[in-house]
Amino acid sequence: MALTETALNTDLSVHSTFASRYVRASLPRFRIPENSIPKEAAFQIITDELMLDGNPRLNLASFVTTWMEPECDKLIMDSINKNYVDMDEYPVTTELQNRCVNMIAHLFNAPLGESEAAVGVGTVGSSEAIMLAGLAFKRKWQNRRKAEGKPYDKPNIVTGANVQVCWEKFARYFEVELKEVRLREDYYVMDPDKAVEMVDENTICIAAILGSTLNGEFEDVKRLNDLLVAKNKETGWETPIHVDAASGGFIAPFIYPELEWDFRLPLVKSINVSGHKYGLVYAGIGWVIWRSKEDLPDELIFHINYLGADQPTFTLNFSKGSSQVIAQYYQLIRMGFQGYKNVMENCRDNMVVLKEALGKTGMFNIISKDIGVPLVAFSLKDNSKHNEFEISDMLRRYGWIVPAYTMPPDAQHVTVLRVVIREDFSRTLAERLVNDIQKVLHELESLPSKKVSISGDGKVVVKKTALETQREVTSVWRKFVMERKKMNVVC
Find the CATH number of the domain harbouring 440: 3.90.1150.160
- Domain identity same for 321 and 282: yes
Q: Which residues contact 26 (CB under 8 A, 6 or more apart)?
A: 13, 14, 15, 491
Helix axes of 70-79 and 323-360: crossing angle, nearest 10 degrees: 140
* 409 and 305 part of one domain: no
Identify whether residues 386 and 329 lie together within a single domain: no
- Classify residue 13: in a domain, yes or no: no
Tell me: do 84 and 229 sit in the same domain.
yes
Q: Are residues 100 and 176 in the same domain?
A: yes
Q: Which of 283, 305, 334 is the last residue of a domain?
A: 334
pLDDT of residue 391: 95
pLDDT of 302: 83
Residues 342 and 324 in one domain: no
> What pLDDT does 173 receive?
96
Domain membership of residue 439 (yes or no) is yes
Residue 370 domain-assigned (yes or no): yes
Q: What is the CATH number of the domain that holds 256?
A: 3.40.640.10
Contact predicate 178/200, CB 8 Å: no
Q: Is residue 14 part of a domain?
A: no
Does residue 400 share a domain with residue 303? no
Q: For 251-286, give one letter per residue: b (16+ CB within 10 A) or e.
A: bbbbbbeebbbbbebebbbbbbbbbbbbbbbbbbbb
Total H helices, total E strands in the chain:
12, 17
Residue 276's domain comprises 76-334
- Specify the pLDDT at position 392: 95
- Does residue 41 sit within a domain? no
Residue 9 pLDDT: 56
- Whether residue 297 is found in the same domain as residue 197: yes
Q: pLDDT value at position 473?
A: 61
Instruction: Specify the pLDDT at position 45.
Output: 85
Are 209 and 263 part of one and the same domain? yes
pLDDT of residue 306: 57
Picking from 334, 350, 378, the residue at the C-terminal end of a domain is: 334
Residue 432: exposure state from Cβ atoms within 10 A (0-12, 13-18, ≥19): middle
Handedness of CA 229, 231, 233, 236 (dihedral sign): negative
Number of structural domains, the chain?
2
Q: Are residues 263 and 117 in the same domain?
A: yes
| 441 falls within a domain | yes
Residues 214 and 343 in one domain: no
* Residue 336 CA to its chain's centroid (Å): 24
Which amino acid belongs to residue 84?
Answer: Y
Whether residues 328 and 381 fall in one domain: no
| Below-50 pLDDT ranges, the chain | 1, 451-454, 456, 458, 460, 485, 487-491
- Peptide bond before residue 436 is cis, with ω within 30 degrees of 0: no
